[in-house]
Structure 1
Amino acid sequence: MPILGILGALLYFGCIFHAIKTGRINYWLLILVMLPGIGSVAYLLLEVLPAARDSRLARTTATRVVDTLDPDRRLRAHAANLETADTAENKRRLAEECVRRGQWDDAVGLYRSALVGPLASDPALLIGLSRALFGRGDFQDSLDALDALQRDNPGYQSREGHMLYARNLEMLGRTREAADEYRALIGYALGPEAQVRYGLMMKALGDRALAEEAFRDAVKTYGRQLSRLDPADRQWIAEAERHLA
């Protein structure tokens, strides 16, 4: 057996022995058994070498290993925080995690429970609630949350809120109003999405000239920057080009 293999085996079994002897068997034993290579390194850095506990590389390695074996760990951690400190900030963080996972009902409940007292008109919470309601398919309620935001926070500006407003109007079949909102977003929102959505609305309204103009402008403005656009924006350019073909 090559010397590196011997050393690797010694490290592996040594870490297992150390974990059992010191009682570190909650996550570590599972990690060491299922991911012997990277698990041994992470255990050595975080548990055996105290000086490495604050190492950014060590923390990152351990986090990736644990997330691989237990993808719901972060959500449970947020839930634990919520149980021990029932604050609006904890609720917001947990709600954002629920939105990321598509757990719309949980997100809506958390946002609503945070929107009380002095935070009843908090812009970030209202936008989060609108986002969760939109994801759940409650487009009118999502629109109502944004109307409350505008009513209680005059002058507040948000690209995401404006885009959500336009998308709710579109989903509610209020095509002309949605088109006007998308047109107002052109140049204000980042990327080509608003311009292409405006073109799609004008095409749905039967104004092919304005629709094609919007598609061409989007391709002209962003088409030369494809390598610098994120995947979602590249898809919007592809959509514009498809309607111009």
Structure 2
Amino acid sequence: MMAILGVAHILIALFFAVHAIRSGQQLYWVVILFMFPALGSVVYFFAIYLPNSKLDHGARKVVKAAAKSLDPGRDLREARQAYEFTPTAQNQMRLASALLAAGNAEEAASTYEACLQGPFSGDLEIRFGAAQAALACGRAAAAVAHLQAIRSKDERFRPEQVLLLLAQALAAAGRQDEARAAFEDVLARHNSFSVQAEFAIWAAGVGDAGKANQLYEELQRTMSRWASHTRELNQPLVRRLNAAMSSLNR
């Protein structure tokens, strides 16, 4: 029985090694698969194979989250290597995005600002990333400026995300009346769970118990209908929401 399991592990590892080579993965995956066929195959399955398979959108997000937990630095590591090897504008944009996703807000902000000085200075996706990074590292005024520039150029570009981030940036800049108006605007246009939750978090933070509780009741009704994978995907936002409501009701 042990011999059969051993052969099975080797065959599975061989299958994933062929997949790694054909799909252009880093060669260290092949080394890992043959040094540790059982564990290596499990890690490769979740980190590489499954995220690239044909799954529905929700399941794909769950799998990608699992893959990131297995190798959290992979995207940033590969983006940095790509930019160091070929310092093109496209690789610089990829590096900025990976830095932001990894939580390196200061370096992400600097990299996005460098991108905006090059041939893609008018790229709204880059400017949106610059706004996200600026807000993440405490430069709320810069984030507001970037978002207002996006709105003035094309109001149809990522309308929900831009309006919501603008409301958050105005709040972080201490412009609470403008923030409230921005939250009301994005809620009227895009009544999504994330908009309602961020509005409730802001309302709880400024002591507006009436608004916060009104939104929280509606959010709880929405959450009661969620499937398990939806709950998992929204867990970080729900934790922030619950913490804000707990602080308000103390």
Offset of 1:184 from its aligned partner? 1.4
Matched, 1:170 2:171: yes
Q: Which residue of 2 aligns with 1:82?
A: 83
String of CA shifts for 1:127-159, please: whole Å, max 9, x gaps: 1001011111111222222233234x0534422
State the SS of the aligned residue for 1:186: helix
* Alignment-mate amino acid for residue 172 of structure 2: M
1:216 and 1:240 in contact (8 A); partners too: no
Offset of 1:94 from its aligned partner? 2.0
Q: Which residue of 2 aligns with 1:199?
A: 203
Unaligned runs of 5+ in 2: 18-25, 54-63
* Alignment-mate amino acid for residue 147 of structure 1: Q
Alignment partners' CA distance in 2, 1:42 and 1:122: 37
Alignment partners' CA distance in 1, 2:176 and 2:249: 21
Q: Which residue of 2 aligns with 1:92?
A: 93
Structure 1 pair 131–241 and aligned structure 2 pair: CA distance change class (3 A): closer
Matched, 1:183 2:184: yes
Q: Which residue of 2 aligns with 1:215?
A: 213
Matched, 1:155 2:152: no
2:197 and 2:215 in contact (8 A); partners too: no
Structure 1 pair 11–59 and aligned structure 2 pair: CA distance change class (3 A): farther
Structure 1 pair 164–58 and aligned structure 2 pair: CA distance change class (3 A): closer
**Higher RCO (C-alpha 8 Å, min separation 6):** 2
Offset of 1:28 from its aligned partner? 3.1
- Structure with bigger gyration radius: 1
Alignment partners' CA distance in 2, 1:85 and 1:78: 10
String of CA shifts for 1:216-238, please: whole Å, max 9, x gaps: 24413x32221426335544664
Alignment partners' CA distance in 2, 1:74 and 1:144: 29
Structure 1 pair 184–244 and aligned structure 2 pair: CA distance change class (3 A): farther
State the SS of the aligned residue for 2:155: coil
State the SS of the aligned residue for 1:119: coil
Offset of 1:42 from its aligned partner? 9.2
Q: Which residue of 1 aligns with 2:112?
A: 111
* Alignment-mate amino acid for residue 155 of structure 2: G
Structure 1 pair 30–67 and aligned structure 2 pair: CA distance change class (3 A): farther
For these two proteins, the number of residue pairs brought into alignment is: 214
Q: 1:7 aligns with which of 4, 7, 25?
A: 4
Alignment partners' CA distance in 2, 1:180 and 1:59: 41
1:130 and 1:141 in contact (8 A); partners too: yes
Matched, 1:133 2:108: no
Alignment partners' CA distance in 2, 1:119 and 1:176: 34
Unaligned runs of 5+ in 1: 46-55
String of CA shifts for 1:52-101, please: whole Å, max 9, x gaps: xxxx66976xx99x978764343232223324544433322222211111
| TM-score between both structures, scaled by the size of structure 1 | 0.66
* Alignment-mate amino acid for residue 7 of structure 1: I
Structure 1 pair 216–69 and aligned structure 2 pair: CA distance change class (3 A): closer
Alignment partners' CA distance in 1, 2:43 and 2:242: 43
Q: Identity rate of aligned residues, in percent?
A: 20
1:166 and 1:182 in contact (8 A); partners too: yes
Alignment partners' CA distance in 1, 2:107 and 2:143: 15
Alignment partners' CA distance in 2, 1:109 and 1:136: 11
